[in-house]
Amino acid sequence: MEDGKQVQRIGVYCASSFGANPSFLRGAQELGALLGERGITLVYGGARVGLMGAVADAALAKGGNVIGVIPESMIQHELAHTGLQDLRTVASMHERKAVMAELSDAFLALPGGYGTMDETFEILTWAQLGLHHKPCVLCNLDGYYDPLLSYLDSMVANGLVRPAHRDLAMAASNPAAAIELLEQALMSVGSAVTKWDESSI
């Protein structure tokens, strides 16, 4: 990715359920609408249910472009979104994550459970290892990610994560701020510190 590149595709990780807090659904719909209005392609897990379906439907309603990536084994379980212009079927969960990572310029995590955490932390780990230099932001709707952010700070305090790598997990309180943060990060991409750089200790 070239320095100063504008965001064209955002990979979004989120739940295949709605969750108990109505602000999660509102946030997913707001995010999808913003992506559609701004002409930013949504890259996501390809389902039509839960927050995943909500963000896709909102983007489509605004005339946005949406790319779904779903494992063949999950099509029945996750109810693949048949209204997408571009739905890609892959062989495994591992391939889904790899394809989404390749397609996306940046990443945004809405509230979610194990799957969302798995996807988000894998992309953060790849950044830590220098495998990519794409920004990632946690969209902290209604403080959902506050405990996780505190846990990440604890990792730093205990000497298990370097401050430079803690900063890879950015956070914003709403979708508009999250997109802006990703855009700013992309415009200022430089030489990232990898896990093995002793100068970053």
CATH number of domain containing 104: 3.40.50.450
- pLDDT value at residue 189: 67
Residue 24 resides in a domain? yes
Q: How far apart are CA 139 and CA 141, in angstroms?
A: 6
Mean pLDDT of 7-36: 98
65 domain-assigned: yes
Mean pLDDT to the nearest integer, 97-118: 98
More confident residue, 115 or 199: 115
- Is 196 a member of any domain? no
Is 2 within the bounds of a domain?
A: no
Q: What is the mean pLDDT of residues 175-191?
A: 88
User: In this structure, are residues 192 and 4 in contact, taking their beta carbons and an 8 Å threshold?
Assistant: no
Whether 8 shows a pLDDT value over 90: the answer reads yes
Q: Tell me what pLDDT residue 1 has.
A: 39
pLDDT over 50 at 2, yes or no: no
Looking at 94-194, which runs of residues are DSSP E strands?
Answer: 106-109, 136-139, 169-172
Residue 150 neighbours by CB distance under 10 Å = 9
193 falls within a domain: no
For the chain, the average pLDDT equals 92
| Rounded distance between C-alpha atoms, residue 193 and residue 182, angstroms | 18
pLDDT at 21: 98
Backbone CA torsion sign across 123, 127, 131, 132: positive
Q: Tell whether 127 is covered by a domain.
A: yes
| Helix and strand numbers, DSSP H then E, in the chain | 8, 7
pLDDT bucket at 198, cuts 50 / 70 / 90: low
| Residue 154 CB partners (closer than 8 Å, separation 6+) | none
Longest dimension (CA), the chain: 49
d(CA 129, CA 133): 10
The upper half-sphere exposure of residue 6, i.e. CA atoms within 13 Å in the direction of its Cβ, equals: 5
Task: Give the domain extent around 53.
Answer: 9-187
Query: Mean pLDDT, to the nearest integer, of 125-143?
Result: 97
Segment 107-124 mean pLDDT: 98
Q: What band does 6 get if pLDDT is binned at 50, 70 and 90?
A: confident
Q: In this structure, is residue 197 part of a structural domain?
A: no
Q: How many domains does the chain have?
A: 1
CA distances from 76 to 71, 97, 115 (A): 10, 19, 17
126 falls within a domain: yes
- pTM, two decimal places: 0.92
